[in-house]
A and B are shown apart, each in its own frame.
Chain A
Amino acid sequence: MRTAIREVRGLGAAKEGTHHWWNQRLTAGSNLLLMLWFVIVIARMPAYDYATATATFASGWRAIPLLLLVVSVFYHLRLGLQVVIEDYQHGQSRVVALVLLNFYTVAGLAIALFSIAKIALGA
Chain B
Amino acid sequence: MASRNPTRPLSPHLGIYRWGPHMLVSVIHRGTGVAMACVGMPILLWWLAAMAGGPESYRGFEWFFTDLLGGAIGYLVGIGLTLALFLHMGNGVRHLFLDAGALFELRRNKLSSLAVLAFGVTATVVYWFFVGVVK
Chain A residues at the B interface, C-beta cutoff of 8 Å: 25, 28-29, 31-32, 35, 39, 43, 48-50, 53-54, 57, 70, 73-74, 77, 80-81, 84, 90-91, 108, 111-112, 114-116, 118-119, 123
Contacts and interface: CB of A to CB of B under 8 A. Distances in A.
Contacts, number: 76
Contacts of A39: 82, 85, 127
A119 B48 contact: yes
14 contacts: A32-B92, A32-B93, A35-B85, A35-B89, A43-B135, A50-B58, A53-B51, A84-B30, A108-B41, A111-B49, A112-B45, A114-B52, A116-B48, A123-B51
Contacts of B28: none
B36 interface: yes
Contact of A81 (B37, B48, B59, B62): B37
Contacts of B93: 32
A57 B34 CA distance: 27
Nearest to A77: B37
A96 to B, nearest CB: 14
Name which of B1, B41, B52 has the most chain A CB atoms within 10 A of its CB: B52
Interface of B: 1-2, 30, 33-34, 36-37, 41-42, 44-45, 48-49, 51-55, 58-59, 62, 82, 85, 89, 92-93, 95-96, 99, 127, 130-131, 135
Given A90-B2, A108-B45, A123-B52, A25 B82 contact: no
Q: Which secondary structure dominates chain B's binding surface?
A: helix
Contact of A115 (B41, B42, B49, B85): B49
Nearest to A47: B135
B41 A28 contact: no
B49 A50 contact: no
Contacts of A31: 92
Nearest to A43: B131
A122 to B, nearest CB: 11
A80 B33 contact: yes
Given A77-B36, A118-B52, A43 B2 contact: no
Nearest to B42: A108
A74 B45 CA distance: 11
Nearest to B58: A50
B51 A54 contact: yes
